[in-house]
Structure 1
């Protein structure tokens, strides 16, 4: 089999005939659906280099198939490790910022897979900061957020999977600081996407990012301030067409005061649970708990809890409600983030990294 792979390499060059390249790629694509096939490909770095070269093929069908092959391969932990040794992230970044690149969405999905691990996220950040100009075209996080937030930057792509890239990058402390940088003003541009009807991937990626940013307890007052106004973005996915008294409604955040009768809650239970976990993290300090109480957060959560059918999300909401309606901790334990936890306690996972796989 290894000999067959070596023979394939002669057909997988930019100069090869289109029919030969296409046939070779289809064979390799078939290998990506089995662990044995992936192991075979992993043992041949020259084949991986050919696949990345063929991303640039002038024939769209050849280039598109090469994207799918790499997408399928990048869904494997072992293959991701190998790809990361090849310094491919700068090249992929260059494709994202090309408004004419018709397979930009597949590139985003590959990058989502590559940044699934902390090592991949660190490599991505290194490429943003230190990559050669010819490779990255001076790509910055701010530029990627701009592409994510713009309509029709690329008529062939919607860039939903950039949300999971952002989420995965939030494993890195320096990236969390960038998202929380007051001068860069990146975060407020992402908040509306917790209610984006067009893609659960985009909603989930942004909500997961917000959850991770809420672990920066020192930023809670700023996040809850009018400058950012994070709370409504986390509560809106949980809110439905519920009815409250006028007095109760007046205490809600403005965005939640007069919701339409056809208001729908977030359909993905995983996204709902991340919203609850983010709000729970905002309850780490006395200030946060007091702020949430002043906005009658409990009432919105109470109605949501009646509606919720997912056991994990329901339990998370129940715990959050108990925190909001319970007595304040005793003196010296007000900051729940600093409280020493009982032995054997396991906190919930901080990072929810996105992982995707393509298909032929």
Structure 2
């Protein structure tokens, strides 16, 4: 004998009611329960989820509530799979988010960001669809979404949307090898532009969501070690790179957020990238420690090869990291600074012993940071050699 549906379950059944006002009332009331009652939307083989997918195409207020519910319940693995693996639903979302007049584009961006946590959504990297002519010239869905994000910042393409949450979508795609390859490879159909160069310009944007998502996309892309020479190069053309010999010039965009108004000595600035010199006296350092930590982790990834470490030494990354360590009172940020210093200040195989001890690390102390020689665990630290940095 089947149990009687509860009032809430009955309410969920009204999501497919033929009367618009009843559908609207049901969706509106269910939004509040979607954060705490995920199982409510999974009954009868996910029938409410199927209804919600259709509601996305409904009248604007109903669609908005439907999208909000889907955003809230997509943390559930079963719901996530039902959304991410549905080709027709994905096309519905793409059709709407690329429309210049879509009033719920931001909610769609948030839902796509959640859906990207499912492995199956990697297929968006190989998906071709009709060209939204006002937005893009590319048939590739991923290019169209990138155009939404770049051209749509601050309502420039669609007055209802800023597309900031697409940066989280890109960050999740960049966790997959195919996504990293896309973001770091010159695209022949797009005049050999490297997609990451379209994103990196937003590392100093006023939107916190955009800065964090872009920083995460860059970091995840940097796990693709073969792309490091391209990411580190600021030359175009660069004869050291394979054709089309285009450098991404990534470093200024991840170093600028780490920098404040500090003045550097001539010795420190000699060789520093042009974009990082003569900054305004009111230059502000990134104020979110998660974003700072993410940029520092990107630098650590770029330290993973000898060539990368050589570039970071040559363009004077060390003084920037030193000042970051000195001025940011956060243990995670300081620890990340320590690790970078260990990588770029150590001597390489075949080099003479440097003035700075092998494996030197910045340690927080009173006043300026200190470089402390690292000892083996079994050694006593009473004779540690401390070198002050002025």
TM-score range (shorter-chain normalised) is: 0.7 to 0.9
- For residue 317 of structure 1, give the secondary structure of its aligned residue in structure 2: helix
**In 2, are the aligned partners of 1:239 and 1:265 still within 8 Å (CA)?**
yes
Are residue 43 (structure 1) and residue 43 (structure 2) matched? yes
The equivalent of 2:224 in structure 1 is 216
**In 1, are the aligned partners of 2:34 and 2:69 still within 8 Å (CA)?**
yes
> 2: distance between equivalents of 1:225 and 1:131?
31
Aligned residues: 321
1:261, CA displacement in angstroms?
A: 0.9
> 2: distance between equivalents of 1:316 and 1:212?
16
> 2: distance between equivalents of 1:113 and 1:267?
26
Where does 1:225-236 land on structure 2 (aligned, <5 Å)? 225-226=233-234, 227-236=247-256
> 2: distance between equivalents of 1:228 and 1:239?
20
1:9, CA displacement in angstroms?
A: 5.7
Match of 2:121 among 124, 129, 135: 124
- Unmatched segments (≥5 aa) in structure 2: 132-137, 235-246, 352-390
> 2: distance between equivalents of 1:327 and 1:317?
18
- For residue 24 of structure 1, give the secondary structure of its aligned residue in structure 2: helix
> 2: distance between equivalents of 1:301 and 1:66?
46
Residues 323 and 89 of structure 1: CA distance in aligned 2, closer, same or farther (over 3 Å) = same
**In 2, are the aligned partners of 1:9 and 1:50 still within 8 Å (CA)?**
no
Where does 1:22-33 land on structure 2 (aligned, <5 Å)? 22-33=24-35
Q: Which has the larger radius of gyration?
A: 2
> 1: distance between equivalents of 2:280 and 2:315?
19
Please give the root-mean-square deviation of Cα atoms over the aligned residues, in Å: 2.4
1:5, CA displacement in angstroms?
A: 6.0
Are residue 204 (structure 1) and residue 204 (structure 2) matched? no
1:280, CA displacement in angstroms?
A: 0.9
Residues 113 and 304 of structure 1: CA distance in aligned 2, closer, same or farther (over 3 Å) = same
The equivalent of 2:79 in structure 1 is 79
**In 2, are the aligned partners of 1:42 and 1:82 still within 8 Å (CA)?**
no
Are residue 263 (structure 1) and residue 283 (structure 2) matched? yes
The equivalent of 1:356 in structure 2 is none
Could you say which structure has the higher helix fraction? 1
Where does 1:101-180 land on structure 2 (aligned, <5 Å)? 101-117=102-118, 119=119, 123-130=120-127, 138-151=139-152, 152-180=156-184
Are residue 286 (structure 1) and residue 286 (structure 2) matched? no
> 2: distance between equivalents of 1:217 and 1:279?
12
